Amino acid sequence: VAIRSYGRAGRVTSFGPFPFARVWVPESQGEAYRRHYGDRVVTIPDACDGNLCRKSNAILDRSPRAWTLIIDDDITRVGMWEGGRRHWLGPAQIAAVVEHHFDLAEQLGVRLWGISQNFDPTSYRTFCPLNLLAPILGPFNGHLAPELRYDETMRGKDDYDFWLQNIQRYHRTLRANKYHYVHDHGK
C-alpha cells in the first residue's frame, strides 16, 4: 500500500487504517517524514513529484509488486454496509479486503479496482455490491500490473481520465460498492 503525501509530515492519517502501508514523498521531504514514520518512508526524486499524476506514475514505475494500492494521506476510516448498518473495519480486516479484491480483480481480468467514495447509506444498493463500470477515484485505487499511466498534463479530474483510459483499454474496472473510505479533503 502506497500513501501519496506532500508537505504533511506528522499529519498522515492513513496510517490509522493502513499501519502496514508506506508513505511516498519527495527526497527533499524525506527526513521530515522519517522523524515521524521511520522506515515506512519511501522517497522519490523531487523531479518525479510535483503533482498527483507524476507522483502516482513514479509509484507505479517503482513499486516492487504487481499489485499496488495507492491511497491519499488523509484517509481516516474504511467501512462497509451490511444488513442496513455501517461497520468500521480494523487494519486486519482492511488488509483482508484489499487482498481479496486484488485477487477478485485478477480473476476478472481487471487492471484497476477501488471502493466507493460515497459513504452515505442511501447511495448503497444492497443488490449491487460490485460494479464493473463505476468510477475509481484517486484517493483509493488498486493497480494490477499496470501498463497505463496518468496524464501528467492534467490539472484536474486526472483520476476520471485514468479510469476512462482503463475502460477504453480493458472495457471494465472493479468497484466494490459495499466498501467505502472516509477522508479529510476539507482540510
pLDDT at 83: 81
DSSP letter assigned to residue 14: T
pTM score, two decimals? Answer: 0.93
The whole-angstrom separation of Cα 122 and Cα 118 is 10
CA atoms within 13 A on the CB side of 146: 28
- How many CB atoms lie under 10 A from the CB of residue 28? 11
What is the DSSP secondary structure assignment for residue 173, as one 8-state letter? -
pLDDT tens per residue across all 187 residues of the chain: 999 999 999 999 999 999 999 999 999 999 999 999 999 999 999 999 988 899 999 999 999 788 999 999 999 999 998 888 889 999 999 999 999 999 999 999 999 999 988 777 767 776 788 899 999 988 999 999 989 999 998 777 888 999 999 999 999 999 999 999 998 765 4
How, if at all, do strands 174-183 and 75-82 pair?
Answer: antiparallel
